[in-house]
Amino acid sequence: MSNLDRQPALSACGGRGFVVAEPVRELLSPRTVRLGESTEVRRLLPNLGRRMVGAWCFVDHYGPDDIAGEPGMQVAPHPHCGLQTVSWLHDGEVLHRDSVGSLETIRPRELGLMTSGRGISHSEESPRAHGRILHGAQLWVALPEEHRHVDPHFQHHAELPQVTAPGLTATVILGTLDGATSPGTAYTPIVGADLTLAAGTETRLPLNPDFEYAVLSMSGEAHVDGVPVLAGSMLYLGCGRTELPVRATSDAGLMLLGGEPFEEEIVMFWNWIGRSHEDIAQAREDWMTGTRFGEVKGYDGPPIPSPELPPTHLKPRGRVR
């Protein structure tokens, strides 16, 4: 899943000026974005008031959608650079193809992790024979300067470590939670975990006070630090926490996202992350002229052309708080 907006904004993100250094409860409402023929997503990051959480810089939640008799997800080849994509499913299957030759079907609670580095292109689609329901999240992680030009590669991990407590199963997607570490390659101090809670569960999750955190609700209803968080919304939590109280009022699915605040200032446009307007302009030229990002073989259809890049440079950013 990617940003298919045909009029995307050129966004400045990162930097300590956006970080809240103390615990907060900031409920983020999504905006709805159409993705392909039959998929609609709720975009939580970047948000009007919140651009990043640690290195997490893009969060889409989609479904559950009934795609019986529908094509489901159909995202034609498109480019990425300077980031990692994290594909995470609760229901359904997604077929991933990319320009380094990867071909993998991602299934529920399996990690599909694509590191774009200096440049890669990929497609994502529901297999022709697919299940009735599609439900998941697509997330991006910004790569730090020292790693943003690494060789592009794809990792698929069907088995991931878990942390359990009465009524709770936490699957560690990326980084480390409570001593359990994902096999996925991380380039910054980070955590991503999928939380499955039974109705009536009350628990406390151990946190790193140096990280900033947010919780995305995938399904059901849960109270996170006393705040009701419904499916498709996200609660930003700030920094300075050593634990997080969670109470499920129904069976619920959450995603815990966190990491060290991302100090570098980045520029996001369409499916690219750079450090300047010039970086993005070069990426666009390279994609439109057929160099750098390679070719996705086996997808039935043409690649997606880049939107026009706004002609003006970004204006200086203000602080959120």
Query: Which residues fall in the annotated binding site for Fe cation?
Result: 78, 80, 122, 124
Q: ∠ at Cα 140 (135, 145), nearest 5°? A: 170
Q: ∠ at Cα 75 (175, 130), nearest 5°? A: 85
Q: Does residue 161 contact residue 114 with C-beta atoms inside 8 Å?
A: no
Tokens of 151: 């060789």
DSSP-derived secondary structure letter, 320: -
**Residues annotated in the binding site, as ranges?**
78, 80, 122, 124
Please tell me the distance from the alpha carbon of residue 54 to that of residue 266, in angstroms, as a whole number: 13
Give the chain's radius of gyration (CA, Å): 19
The strands making up 103-106's β-sheet, listed across from edge to edge, are 74-80, 120-125, 94-98, 103-106
Residue closest to 141 by CA, chosen among 128, 150, 133:
150
Please tell me the distance from the alpha carbon of residue 307 to that of residue 8, in angstroms, as a whole number: 8
CA distances to 96, 201, 206, 243 from 165, rounded to whole Å, are: 33, 10, 12, 14
Instruction: Mention every residue, 6+ apart, whose C-beta is less than 8 A from residue 21.
Output: 238, 239, 240
DSSP-derived secondary structure letter, 283: H
* Residue ranges with strand state E in 7-158: 11-14, 23-28, 31-35, 39-45, 56-66, 74-80, 83-91, 94-98, 103-106, 111-115, 120-125, 133-142, 153-157
Instruction: Mention every residue, 6+ apart, whose C-beta is less than 8 A from residue 318.
Output: none
Residue closest to 307 by CA, chosen among 287, 290, 291:
287
